[in-house]
Structure 1
Amino acid sequence: MYTLGIIGTLLLGACNQTVEKKVQSKNVDTVVVPKADILISEALTSEQQEKLTPDSVLQRMKKGNKDFTEDNLTVRNSTERVRRASLGQYPKAVVLSCLDSRVPVEDVFHSGIGNLFVARVAGNIINDDILGSLEYSCKVSGAKLIVVLGHEYCGAVKSAIDDVKLGNITTLLAKIQPAVQHAKASFKGKTTSSNPDFVAAVCDENVKESIRLIREKSPILNEMEKNAKIKIIGGVYDMNSGRVEFFN
């Protein structure tokens, strides 16, 4: 009943891979970097992470996204950051994102190696494994912010609206159905996947539903949020501008 095109939309982010060849240059140590571009070699340390607050991390994330959209990017010494990050990790935040390959989370927030945890699953849905990952990020490793990140034109959301049935995808899409029903209850207009406004409404509801489930199903994270140890926030990525619109 459903075309391969619908299925392909959902799985596109998981299936497309590109292979990059490393390019070595004998002159790598003599590259001239403009003075305005300071080479950043450090990942966050334990002491730096400890001083952060949830609100300050959110502001950093917003600033990083602004830099990304304006191509105001910092030059980073990736080799040195890899080495230093191997000694330990102290990320400032964890992002629960969709699987879509067009949403490169670290790039979107202009964040280097060792500064973000990223959990990815189609439709940025919540299950026990995702909850465990979020708890590890915050309770064990000290992340101060949870961002549930949806995005425009989400294939998982469209497939949930169309009620696609296919293998294990069926179970995954069922977790998005509450958002579909919530959106339908208040949306004025055509409630199909061909209506981009309705898809956007479901995407927003799906992010809110994931946040609700985090608070409901994780006493650990719920308590941390109530004690102002962390903040849980949602946002949606604009595919055209690269901007993340955070929810109030």
Structure 2
Amino acid sequence: MENTNINTDQWLTNNKHYVEQREAGTASGISSSMHTVVITCMDCRIMIESALGLKPGQAFVIRNAGNIVTDDVVRSLTLAVQTAGIQEVMVIGHTDCAVGKLDEPAFKTELQQQYPEGVKHDLTPTCFHAFSDVLENVRKQVQTLKSHPYFKNLSSIRGFVYDIRTGKISDINE
């Protein structure tokens, strides 16, 4: 069997260099010195830590396709709020999002045809949360968080859009 892990092997080599250059003390505990969680898309074009000027330990980052507030995002955020004193949440969508272009019914049909056994699997997604308007999607995710009783006492839950072309992050309320 040929090696199909060429990229993974390169990432592990890169990690060796990272370990050699890493500053001592960057793993001093699970917390967020800025008491902030960023919820954003998993799109690999978004280097959110760089775009916000974050350093290790300053903020938790939760990523998924479409920056959707799913059960798992609520689970992760609840843990961060209860154990790390999180007070602020930034929901950051982005332009040119694949989930914003997704034809969900067609995608589900394609999956069912390609993987008929997947329909019966416990972890098969039933919803991919497709949307057509990035601003409306971010507003919806912010509202979902604001209406959740676990997050009523946070000092700030705000929404933003990252422009893939420029890297600019804009407040959805401006």
* TM-score (norm. length: structure 2): 0.73
Distance 1:134 1:87 in 2: 17
> Residue 145 of structure 2 is aligned with which of 190, 200, 214?
214
> Residue 53 of structure 2 is aligned with which of 102, 110, 120?
110
Unaligned runs of 5+ in 1: 1-15, 29-76, 181-198
Quote how far apart the aligned CAs of 1:160 are.
Answer: 4.4
> Residue 89 of structure 1 is aligned with which of 24, 28, 31?
31
Q: How many percent identity over aligned positions?
A: 28
Quick one: which amino acid aligns to residue 126 of structure 1? V
Quick one: which amino acid aligns to residue 149 of structure 2? P
Secondary structure class of the residue paired with 1:123: coil
- Structure 1 pair 134–169 and aligned structure 2 pair: CA distance change class (3 A): same
Quote how far apart the aligned CAs of 1:161 are.
Answer: 6.6
- Structure 1 pair 78–109 and aligned structure 2 pair: CA distance change class (3 A): farther
The equivalent of 2:126 in structure 1 is 171
> Residue 159 of structure 2 is aligned with which of 222, 234, 241?
234
Quote how far apart the aligned CAs of 1:78 are.
Answer: 4.0
Quick one: which amino acid aligns to residue 136 of structure 2? E
Secondary structure class of the residue paired with 1:80: coil
- Structure 1 pair 163–149 and aligned structure 2 pair: CA distance change class (3 A): farther
Distance 1:172 1:91 in 2: 35
What does the per-residue CA deviation read over 1:186-205, in whole Å, with 9 as the maximum and x for residues that have no partner? xxxxxxxxxxxxx5xx1111
Quick one: which amino acid aligns to residue 170 of structure 2? E
> Residue 123 of structure 1 is aligned with which of 57, 66, 72?
66
The equivalent of 1:80 in structure 2 is 24
> What is the number of residues matched between the two proteins?
150
Distance 1:169 1:99 in 2: 19
Secondary structure class of the residue paired with 2:43: coil
Cα RMSD of the aligned pairs, angstroms, is: 2.7
The equivalent of 1:73 in structure 2 is none
> Residue 145 of structure 1 is aligned with which of 71, 83, 88?
88
Secondary structure class of the residue paired with 1:239: coil
Secondary structure class of the residue paired with 2:102: helix
Quote how far apart the aligned CAs of 1:157 are.
Answer: 1.4
Distance 2:97 2:125 in 1: 16
- Structure 1 pair 142–132 and aligned structure 2 pair: CA distance change class (3 A): same
* TM-score (norm. length: structure 1): 0.53
Distance 1:169 1:98 in 2: 20
Asked if structure 2 preserves the Cα contact closer than 8 Å seen for 1:135 and 1:220, the reply is yes
Question: Would you tell me which structure has more helix in proportion to its own residues?
Answer: 1
The equivalent of 1:6 in structure 2 is none
User: 1:19-30 maps to which residues of 2 (within 5 A)?
Assistant: 19=11, 20-21=13-14, 22-23=16-17
Distance 1:160 1:246 in 2: 27
